Chains A and B, each alone.
Chain A
């Protein structure tokens, strides 16, 4: 459930990213709750026009946005990079196998500044996973390019009929805080 009434703690990149998602015709958002992307998800919730689906794992979210595509709607999956590891078979057997496009917005784990040792293996593997699957991923280092990258990734996803990833590195987001 959303924390209704509370002010959303935003920053430049998260509000720009939420606006870019809204501006590119997406209407379904599946997400696995994440600290880094939380403000983006909350802003999309607050907009009121999006179908917001909090899923229990990432491959479930991929299937939800794939189903939305079958129903004629553009979908975004928001998750941590580790969740892509959970979802390789869904990417292959559903998204790539059926040529179903969607946008993946991924907050990076296991890279610059990571504090959790066991997050680092998937951090190392993530670019190679995308590469092995033949999927395109774009690391969004510059907050000034968010609008262009989301628009470009959207065009690419729906012209190639494949999922496209936008990865949010810790240099953009500041990363997850230790709790």
Chain B
């Protein structure tokens, strides 16, 4: 399963969920799999996407929030797993597309290429709904479950990276307004 395969499968499964993607290849592949107003693409602040998703999920308990994280990024913010486990937002789905490499910086191995297991870290942080997927079928089945049953969910998918050549528009502020309008956030 490539990351793009997983992303395409996920986009087919979602309806009005908010998708929040990690900087780099997750943002590229989500855009290619299906740009939609309820996508929020991050472009920087590496590591923080799981916490953005947590803040959004807590602010909007009526909205299911799906975070698309990377292994390198999550390793920068492992504390967020403890915070998510402590807060227990039922509407948060945290998907880690684990390529075992720092793809955007040239494919250097992350610790998950060696001895580190993010699902085990998630369980150790106190998360109880933790799934691992090695095939597209397993991913679709786990994603379907995480989109319909109470979370918080951590879904770690072992995927192959994809070389992305698409030109994804880098328009963070326009994306913010489009996203907030789509999910019905009033003006503050």
Contact = CB atoms under 8 A, between A and B. Distances in A.
A56 B80 contact: yes
B83 A67 contact: no
Contacts of A27: 59
Interface stretch (B48-56, B98-106, B108-116, B133-141): B48-56
Main secondary structure of the interface of B (DSSP, over half): helix
A102 B168 CA distance: 28
Interface stretch (A40-48, A90-98, A106-114, A125-133): A90-98
A92 B44 CA distance: 8
A69 to B, nearest CB: 7
A66 interface: yes
Interface centre among A30, A94, A98 (most CB of B within 10 A): A98
B55 A75 contact: yes
Given A51-B59, A101-B188, A63 B179 contact: no
B175 to A, nearest CB: 8
Contacts of A65: 55
B59 A60 contact: no
A98 B55 contact: no
B43 A97 contact: yes
B97 to A, nearest CB: 19
Nearest to A65: B55
B84 to A, nearest CB: 10
A54 B180 contact: no
B32 interface: no
A55 B51 CA distance: 9
B79 A56 contact: yes
B107 interface: no
Interface residues of B, number: 41
Interface residues of A, number: 37
B51 A28 contact: no
A72 B60 contact: yes
Contact of A100 (B43, B87, B176, B186): B176
Contacts of B50: 63
Interface of A: 27-28, 30, 51, 53-57, 59-75, 89-90, 92-94, 97-101, 158
26 contacts: A27-B59, A30-B55, A51-B58, A51-B59, A53-B54, A53-B83, A53-B87, A54-B86, A55-B80, A59-B47, A60-B51, A63-B50, A67-B56, A67-B58, A68-B55, A69-B55, A70-B56, A70-B183, A71-B59, A71-B60, A72-B60, A72-B186, A73-B188, A75-B55, A93-B44, A97-B44
Interface of B: 20, 23, 40, 42-60, 63, 77, 79-80, 82-83, 86-87, 172-173, 175-176, 179-180, 183-186, 188
B176 A98 contact: yes
A66 B54 CA distance: 10
Contacts of A75: 55
Contact of A59 (B45, B173, B175, B176): B45
A64 B51 contact: yes
A94 B179 contact: no
B48 A63 contact: yes
A53 B175 CA distance: 26
A70 B173 CA distance: 12
5 smallest A-B Cβ distances: which pairs?
Answer: A67-B55, A93-B44, A56-B79, A71-B59, A72-B185
Interface centre among A30, A73, A75 (most CB of B within 10 A): A73
Contacts of B86: 54
